[in-house]
Amino acid sequence: MDNRHFRYLEKQSIDLLLTDVFLGPGPRGTEVALQARRRHPGLPILLMSGYSRELLDDPHGW
């Protein structure tokens, strides 16, 4: 798994996370969002996607 998304969250101070649900190979945007929420409680998170809702089913309930 490519961890560059998670490393960025550890090193940077962020005010808002805006991510696509599908990031290509590696973690999904929902996984990045969960890690961001753990590291930065209260962080506003916006998830977006051009895919239909049927393809966006997520086990985390996003």
In angstroms, the CA 6 to CA 17 distance is 12
In angstroms, the Cα distances linking 17 to 13, 54 are: 11, 23
- Does residue 33 form part of some domain? yes
Q: How confident is the model at residue 42 (pLDDT cuts 50, 70, 90)?
A: very high
Number of domains forming the structure of the chain: 1
How confident is the model over 27-53, as a mean pLDDT? 86
- Whether 17 is in a domain gets the answer yes
In a domain, 13, yes or no: yes
Whole-prediction pTM: 0.67
In a domain, 49, yes or no: yes
* Structural domain for 44, as ranges: 4-56
Asked whether residue 62 is assigned to any structural domain, the reply reads: no
61 domain-assigned:
no
Average pLDDT, the chain: 78
